[in-house]
Amino acid sequence: MSSALVERNATQFLTSMFPATWEIAVHIFNTKTPFRSVKNARDVISGNFLAHTIRLLASSHLTPDETSQGKEIIKLLGRYASCPDVIVELGKLPEIDRFSLRGLAGNEQAWFFWNGFRLSIMQRNTYFIKTQYNGDFICDYASCHSTNHGTAGSSDTGKLKKCSRCSSVVYCSTECQRKDWIEFHRGECTESRNEHIRRKSSQSCYTHQMRRFHVAYVAFLLNRYCSGLEWDIADRRSITSLDGSCLILQPDSVSLEGEGWWESHPQLHFPQHYLKPRLSALKDEYISGAGSPGVRLVQAFFPLGMKFGVVLTVRLTKSGDQYKGGYSMVRYGLPA
């Protein structure tokens, strides 16, 4: 409807649509029903809700409060812009119309915000496309030599060997699956299966496709923005922490000492205690320096809802002057 108003040169009526637009956004991102947030973001972007909001922001008749709310809607959509389903839809969006360009250009605050959003989305979309052809893969056996060295394997996660009972782990070979069963997964499988059923029933699964992209994306972010931030390497007592819900990257650090590393996100708690032995082994290996001196651990938060998400811990290995993603593990975070 907003596009029809622009086509008919009746843009003075755009502001009348803002209350309904804000109500839709509140409903889409309701914290009481958080589990469809990623799919909701994907669906409304596909339905041109982002383009509609930009037209409203471009109107010269908005109040300061309405401008702030319009920016908040775009920020909420951007919260899920690291999720493959959302990236795909953002990549399909056409260029914004002339009316929107002129209106945003006339509002310095809105233009600065939109331009930052656009550049961030372009970057993520470009890198997502790149990872689809790189052949990066994941294997949940910690000592898998392929993932340790960041080499390329099958680009199709469907060809990997998934645990038939819980579907929560995948392997590049039967041998890796056998070894990990003995080492860790035998003690995890039953509870992992129950967790997978809960996530599937609430449409909130963190898929292997998502993890595959995020492992590569974490390596990209580290190489692009954090190459000089190596405070975590010297004493191996802390690791870099990234927040995938933010359009502007703000690296932080998390201490590995004591038990605080497990509950390292201030607004979430992590009930999958059966994964502690696996993550503790990864942490202890890193602290001891048993791996290559070019190994680095990084953790990243990726939202699946307004108060729900995952923390992905990735072991990266330096090859030349670049880090490559390798072994990783993920745990769900629920509202604290």
Co-location of 114 and 256 in the same domain: no
- Which range is least confidently modeled, 56-70, 79-93, 272-286, 307-321? 56-70
- Which range is least confidently modeled, 137-151, 175-189, 194-208? 137-151
The two three-digit tokens of residue 282, written as one number: 């990864």
Co-location of 120 and 144 in the same domain: no
Co-location of 108 and 155 in the same domain: no
Co-location of 280 and 229 in the same domain: yes
Q: Which of 84, 101, 132 is the last residue of a domain?
A: 132
Co-location of 145 and 121 in the same domain: no
Co-location of 119 and 149 in the same domain: no
Q: What is the DSSP letter of 136?
A: -
Total count of domains within the chain:
2
Co-location of 173 and 249 in the same domain: yes
Co-location of 194 and 104 in the same domain: no
State the Cα–Cα distance between residues 56 and 13, nearest whole angstrom.
10
The two three-digit tokens of residue 48, written as one number: 């041109």
Co-location of 37 and 147 in the same domain: no
- Which range is least confidently modeled, 209-213, 231-235, 261-265, 320-324? 231-235
Q: Which of 104, 132, 160 is the last residue of a domain?
A: 132
Predicted confidence (pLDDT) at residue 90 exceeds the cutoff of 50: yes
Question: Which domain range does residue 75 map to?
Answer: 2-132
The two three-digit tokens of residue 57, written as one number: 């922001």
Cα pseudo-dihedral 47, 48, 53, 56, rounded to 10:
-120
241 touches 249 (CB < 8 A): no
Predicted pLDDT of residue 134: 60
Co-location of 183 and 62 in the same domain: no
For the four alpha carbons of 160, 163, 169 and 175, in that order, the dihedral sign comes to: negative
Residue showing tokens 């910690």: 142
Rg (CA), the chain: 22
Predicted pLDDT of residue 251: 84
Kindly report, residue by residue over 190-208, the tens digit of the pLDDT.
Answer: 999 999 999 988 878 899 9
Co-location of 64 and 143 in the same domain: no
Length of the chain: 336
DSSP reduced 3-state for 36 = helix
pTM of the model: 0.87
Confidence grade of residue 95 (pLDDT, cut at 50, 70, 90): confident
107 or 197, higher pLDDT: 197
Q: Which of 85, 108, 132 is the last residue of a domain?
A: 132
Predicted pLDDT of residue 136: 63
Backbone torsions φ then ψ of 243, nearest 5 degrees: -115, 105
Co-location of 11 and 112 in the same domain: yes
Q: Which amino acid is it at 94?
A: P
State the Cα–Cα distance between residues 194 and 45, nearest whole angstrom.
32
